[in-house]
């Protein structure tokens, strides 16, 4: 069986190509550029490599890419969501968002999720498996190719699709380093945001990587009773420990941490919630991103109305916190994590081919 090299960096390619007779080490970067910058999926496309070398490579290696099996577009046309399937039939969602200031792609890091957050669709069926570096990269390069058709490209990446990045740590970090590599996307690390449910050891490990990434921490509540109710992981890493880890991250990297706070009617949107939140985060190099919850039918949680969302933002600002309201993009295509995939799974179950 041939080895799939999509997702290998140049060092890994050099190592792999040692198995091929007469293959000089500079070929590694050449092949990387073909795969990552020119979207080659077969060695025969790599015309600046000798024919014989291409044949030898093709007998040992393959370049495996995902296939798109569904897509949805928002009415405004600013958000598109794609369902990508891998060789084993597992599928994940990738979202492409066109902003005024550039294009961003939201990638998944696992098939499903094990974190169990009560408002999230990705976790309804648990986690099937983690994605490889290549499978995460595939989503970005697919989006980039798509945007190139209109002379654009990917300007930023948010690691906020389904899955918990810290539960697939090495693949995620290798993926980010690849996006930064000059032979791949050459993307600034400052243009990459990683969102975590709050796995403290992962946050500390990321802080030590020396990468100026934006860290987003999903907080969603300012007291442990409410947060544990919404996010079971809070029993392992309670609020105080998560916020301390956020503080350490900001100190180590000099980067402002974003706290994600999804507003759920009657659960975490009261004035005292805003006060608790301000007390918790005051003085920290951080920023709060408010997201009205995107309702998942099974979970029965609804967002407060727009006026109340604004009021909550005002309460926080009055306490001196920096707040943004997440612009609701693609609400009409249900851009909340996992909802397109959920429908796909339901369809497969109906056909008797469930995962």
**35 vs 293 by CB, closer to ligand SAH:** 293
Q: Which two tokens stand for residue 16?
A: 């792999």
Q: Is 183 in the site for ligand SAH (CB under 6 A)?
A: no
At 8, is the secondary structure helix, strand, or coil? coil
Contacts 24+ apart (CB under 8 A), 179-184: 179/137, 179/140, 181/9, 181/10, 181/32, 181/36, 183/10, 183/29, 183/32, 183/33, 183/36, 183/37, 184/32, 184/36, 184/37, 184/137
Query: Least distance in Å: CB of 9 to ligand SAH?
Result: 24
Q: Is 49 in the site for ligand SAH (CB under 6 A)?
A: no
C-alpha dihedral, 201 to 92 to 106 to 129, nearest 10°: 10
Q: How far is CA 213 from the centre of its chain?
A: 13
For residues 329 and 337, the answer to whether their CB atoms sit within 8 Å is: no
Catalytic residue among 23, 93, 164, 260: 93
Query: Least distance in Å: CB of 274 to ligand SAH?
Result: 18
Question: Binding mask 113-152 vs ligand SAH (x if CB under 6 A, - otherwise)?
Answer: --x-x-xx--------------------------------
Query: Least distance in Å: CB of 155 to ligand SAH?
Result: 19
Q: Is 263 exposed, middle or buried (0-12, 13-18, 19+ CB in 10 A)?
A: buried
Question: Binding mask 323-352 vs ligand SAH (x if CB under 6 A, - otherwise)?
Answer: -------------xx---------------
Window 67 to 106, contacts with ligand SAH (CB under 6 A): none
Query: Least distance in Å: CB of 268 to ligand SAH?
Result: 12
Residue 337 known to be catalytic: yes
Catalytic residue among 113, 120, 286, 337: 337
At 304, is the secondary structure helix, strand, or coil? coil
**23 vs 230 by CB, closer to ligand SAH:** 230
Name the residues that contact ligand SAH, by CB under 6 A. Answer: 115, 117, 119-120, 160, 164, 195-197, 218, 260, 262, 291, 293-294, 296, 336-337
* Residues carrying an active site annotation: 93, 337
């Amino acid at each position: 069986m041939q080895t799939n090299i999509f997702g290998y960096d140049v060092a890994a390619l050099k190592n792999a190509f040692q198995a091929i007779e007469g293959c000089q080490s500079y070929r590694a970067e050449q092949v990387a550029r073909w795969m990552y910058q020119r979207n080659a999926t077969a060695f025969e496309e790599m015309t600046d490599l000798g024919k014989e070398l291409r044949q030898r490579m093709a007998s040992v290696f393959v370049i495996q890419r995902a296939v798109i099996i569904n897509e949805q577009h928002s009415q405004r046309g600013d958000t598109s969501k794609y369902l990508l399937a891998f060789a084993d039939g597992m599928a994940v969602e990738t979202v492409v968002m066109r902003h005024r200031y550039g294009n961003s792609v939201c990638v998944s890091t696992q098939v499903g999720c094990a974190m169990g957050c009560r408002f999230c669709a990705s976790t309804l069926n648990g986690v099937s498996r983690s994605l490889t570096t290549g499978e995460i990269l595939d989503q970005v390069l697919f989006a980039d190719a798509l945007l190139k058709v209109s002379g654009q490209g990917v300007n930023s990446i948010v690691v906020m699709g389904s899955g918990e990045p810290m539960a697939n740590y090495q693949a995620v970090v290798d993926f980010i380093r690849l996006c930064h590599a000059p032979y791949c996307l050459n993307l600034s690390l400052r243009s990459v945001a990683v969102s975590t449910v709050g796995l403290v050891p992962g946050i500390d490990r990321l802080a030590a990587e020396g990468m100026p990434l934006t860290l987003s921490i999903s907080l969603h509540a300012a007291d442990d009773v409410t947060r544990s109710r919404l996010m079971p992981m809070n029993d392992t890493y309670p609020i105080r420990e998560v916020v301390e880890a956020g503080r350490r991250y900001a100190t180590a990297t000099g980067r402002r941490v974003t706290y994600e706070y999804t507003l759920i009617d009657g659960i975490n949107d009261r004035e005292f919630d805003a006060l608790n939140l301000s007390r918790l985060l005051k003085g920290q190099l951080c920023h709060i991103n408010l997201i009205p919850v995107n309702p998942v039918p099974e979970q029965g949680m609804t967002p407060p109305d727009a006026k109340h969302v604004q009021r909550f933002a005002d309460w926080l600002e009055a306490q001196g916190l920096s707040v943004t309201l997440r612009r609701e993009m693609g609400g009409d295509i249900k851009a909340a994590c996992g909802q397109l995939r959920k429908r796909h799974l339901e369809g497969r179950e109906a056909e008797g081919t469930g995962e």
